[in-house]
Amino acid sequence: MMVEEEHELCFPQLLNDSCKKIEHSYFENIFMSFILCFISLITVLLNLLLIISISHFRQLQTSTNLLLLSLAVSDFFVGFLLLFQIMLIDGCWYLGDLMCILYFILDVFITAASVGNMVLISIDRYVAICDPLHYPTKVTVKRIQVCISLCWICSLCYSIVFWSDNLKQPGRFSSCSGECIVIVGFIEQFVSLFLTFVIPITVIILLYLRVFVVAVSQVQAMRSHVAASSQKHSGTVIIQKSELKAARTLGVVVVAFLMCLCPYYCVILTAQSTKLNNLSALFFVCLFYFNSCLNPMIYALLYPWFRKAIRLIVTLHVLKSGSADFRIL
């Protein structure tokens, strides 16, 4: 009887202080571990391919693609964060109290950076579609680099400030060994809800609604004047079509992001406490993580240059001299 109780504990050697494991069947443990490992592996590999593609090929290093690169970096780290969820299947945290709070800091850091990248992508598409004549002067590579840097720096500062109270004494809210619990006050939750969800999502939706309206009007205008267009004007039409295609592709990315992000915030940010061993909360966290796997899949389906870059990387053509100057577009 004593052996069975020990098997139910996270730390059998601590009989009076250890948390109990969540009971799952052997098949459930294997199945959930396989799914989490598979999503994590695909997320890391696909985003790594995207990072290598944009970083290596000079032709891909445009202002818009730099934003995609920044988003891919955050998605890449999400893939590694998902590995931590594997140990939480049985409801136990084995890495100690300090790693528990550091995990939450990293989670909020990456989440905030992803949201910030989405806002920057929306702004980029808004300027490209609604003010195309001034886009090359307003949106330069250097300005995008500054915006991306500020996005990551602000996200890091925000995550540290958000968990500063828990960081002072890690593990003080845990009732037993093997438990990872952090508690955030109502005011902090309210501010976080607006800073990382309500305001950014509102901005993204409004910008893309405006982009959609302008894009539809431009498509109608191009169709009505296509017969009478000159060769010079035809070049302008091609540029507009490429911008519209980029807007549609990134629009799909934003919609997928919203569908995965909304449940995450509704469950996690509105709760009084966040428990890693809560399977219902774990489902919504994994739903948000799965979005990081969807993004490169969307690029692979809608961006020919990404598929071509993947072939060059897999076949090791990127190791050849001068491969950075290959024509990808």
Domain of residue 123: give its range. Answer: 23-224+234-325
Residue 40 maps to which CATH number?
1.20.1070.10
Residue 103 covered by a domain: yes
Residue 15 covered by a domain: no
The DSSP 8-state label assigned to residue 89 in this structure reads: G
Residue 179 covered by a domain: yes
Residue pair 33/86 in contact by the 8 Å Cβ criterion: yes
What are 18-65's pLDDT values in tens digits?
Answer: 778 777 677 777 877 888 888 889 999 999 999 999 999 999 999 989
Residue 216 covered by a domain: yes
pLDDT in tens, the chain (329 residues): 334 444 577 777 766 777 787 776 777 778 778 888 888 899 999 999 999 999 999 999 999 899 999 999 999 998 888 888 777 777 788 888 888 888 889 988 998 898 899 899 889 988 888 888 888 898 999 999 999 999 999 999 999 988 888 787 777 777 777 778 887 777 877 888 888 888 888 888 888 888 878 777 766 666 666 555 544 444 444 445 666 666 677 678 778 877 887 776 676 555 544 444 455 666 776 777 788 888 888 887 778 888 999 999 999 988 888 888 888 87
Give the separation between CA 39 and CA 144, rounded to whole angstroms: 30
Residue 286 covered by a domain: yes
Give the separation between CA 317 and CA 262, rounded to whole angstroms: 41
pTM over 0.85: no
Joined tokens for residue 16: 């009076």
Give how many domains the chain has, as a whole number: 1
Residue pair 196/115 in contact by the 8 Å Cβ criterion: yes
Helices within the chain (DSSP H only): 2-7, 26-56, 63-87, 96-130, 135-138, 141-162, 164-168, 186-193, 199-225, 231-268, 279-302, 304-314
Residue 12 covered by a domain: no
Residue 147 covered by a domain: yes
Residue 295 covered by a domain: yes
